[in-house]
A = this chain, B = another copy of it.
């Protein structure tokens, strides 16, 4: 038995979140609903325009682990923070969630990554990420023994943008593969696919990915098919397990000849969709590692996603174990 259920590599980010009106999204020329990488100047500009905010640890893969840990899974995280207050906040929150996190903080600039998240009245989040220290995760920071000792290695596509972590993730895949472990990959964002689709297709074709997570926009970006079923028909045969989330329309999973669907969990009021995909992945992986059938994996994913969109922030607040 591997010691960890899931070990993930991802951006080590603190989310800075504030509600805003749709007019501000337009005024600041932000791509609503997307994740945009920003530099320090733009970060200052956007922060100045942002209302009173709250800070909550985030990072896509780290959010997924927080969900898994809340469900009782054994988890480890690899990601790069700087030696600063936001780095301390990130490290505290992930460890307090019961997740092993031993990547040493990076000395000197830039600072710990932050994501300025503008949440519109429809619950949609528009993310502006200053990658900071996160983009300098070196391959040397990988704990190969931890990766080899995890049932699943989980990688976030967001981290494919910067060069050093991309290199580190390639090495991590090799380490997991060498130990006979599974690799799960989240496509993260349609714009990331626009930049790195070639790499992602190569990973799929090299059989480097066992479980692929996408939302509808990412499925379309990967396959070039606007039609959902056509996209699935094109991508599903190429990966052992494909999971596609569809927002309020639920989610679909395909594995070999199996196919299952789940409706979205009912939510009284969608407050903030930040982390919906991350927590869906958490619930799905929790079931998958336990050997649950596809439909049960999907159900757990939907429950976790439903919890996270009912409040601000992408880390679970309710008792996920009780909910599933």
Contact = CB atoms under 8 A, between A and B. Distances in A.
Nearest to A16: B89
A54 to B, nearest CB: 5
Interface in A301-320: 313, 315, 317
A55 interface: yes
A66 B56 CA distance: 20
Contact of A52 (B84, B97, B111): B97
A52 B47 contact: no
Given A47-B92, A85-B84, A92-B47, A54 B56 contact: yes
Query: Number of copies of this chain in the oligomer?
Result: 2
Contacts of A317: 19
Contact of A96 (B53, B55, B92, B313): B53
Nearest to A316: B52
Interface residues of A, number: 27
A92 B57 contact: no
A121 to B, nearest CB: 12
Interface in A100-154: 111
Interface string A181-220: 0000000000000000000000000000000000000000
Contact of A93 (B53, B57, B96, B97): B53
Interface string A55-86: 11100000000100000000000000000111
A180 interface: no
Contact of A85 (B66, B85, B97): B85
A310 to B, nearest CB: 13
A50 interface: yes
Interface in A231-270: none
A51 interface: yes
Contacts of A51: 96-97
Contacts of A66: 52
